[in-house]
Amino acid sequence: MALLPILEFPDPRLRTKAVDVDPAELSTPAFQTLLDDMFQTMYEAPGIGLAASQVDMHKRFMVIDVSEDRSRPMVFVNPQIVSSEGGQVYQEGCLSVPGIYADVTRADTITVRFLDRQGQPQELTTDGLLAVCIQHEMDHLIGKLFVDYLSPLKREMVRKKLAKARKHAA
Ligand code: QAP
Ligand code: CO
């Protein structure tokens, strides 16, 4: 297993639109190892969700674990939201935008269809944090970040804050 480097805002590669995973690829050792590496990278951060786009892999899948004890790993391959209802505001963060948190409004309850890690089709209806996380990670797959919901001025402040933090870390 390996920790993968995570792309950070404003890296233009985070804007890449991901393409569907070929279901035949799911059963390959390379794909299963990549999933394990993504979980390890997410748990180590620590984070609750990581999209393939964030590790410079522009295919439509992501890993999520919103459980307190990190015991409920979920894999979503080729996810599609088939219905959504209501609205909720959640203070989001992102491994690609470290140290920045902001309120984002999203659907409250969603139904998502996807393939699991074994390639089996699944349908899940969920709400709360898991619903927020699925929507956040699916945004990554179309090149969208949570800071895109902020005003251009706030987004520019985020960019400067990250540049400054990186400069001090260097
Ligand atoms: C997306 O985010 C999410 O700034 C997943 O310094 C976030 O795992 C969905 C993290 C909130 C729903 C609600 C962020 C770790 C982790 C940071 C994450 C940081 C270290 C973010
Ligand atoms: Co994110």
Active site annotation includes 85: no
Distance from Cα 19 to the centre of ligand 1, integer Å? 24
Distance from Cα 114 to the centre of ligand 1, integer Å? 22
pLDDT value of position 92: 98
Whether residue 1 is predicted with pLDDT greater than 90 in this model: the reply is no
The per-residue pLDDT for range 23-37, each reduced to its tens digit, is 999 999 999 999 999
pLDDT value of position 59: 98
Confidence at 136, pLDDT banded by 50, 70, 90 = very high
| The domain made up of 12-164 is a member of CATH 3.40.50.10540 | no
Q: Would you list the domain boundaries of the chain?
A: 12-164
Instruction: Tell me phi and psi for residue 125, to 5 degrees.
Output: -110, 125
- Ligand 1: residue of 63, 66, 95 to mutate (most ligand atoms within 8 A of CB) is 95
The per-residue pLDDT for range 59-109, each reduced to its tens digit, is 999 999 999 999 999 999 999 999 999 999 999 999 999 999 999 999 999
Q: What is the CA radius of gyration of the chain?
A: 16
pLDDT value of position 169: 92
Strands (E), 3-161: 49-51, 61-64, 74-85, 88-92, 102-106, 109-115, 121-127
pLDDT value of position 105: 98
- Cβ of 59 less than 6 Å from ligand 1: no
- Ligand 1: residue of 43, 88, 94, 130 to mutate (most ligand atoms within 8 A of CB) is 94
Neighbouring residues of 147: CB distance < 8 A, sequence distance ≥ 6: 9, 94, 97, 100, 102, 154, 155, 158
Residue nearest (by alpha carbon) to ligand 1 atom 19: 98
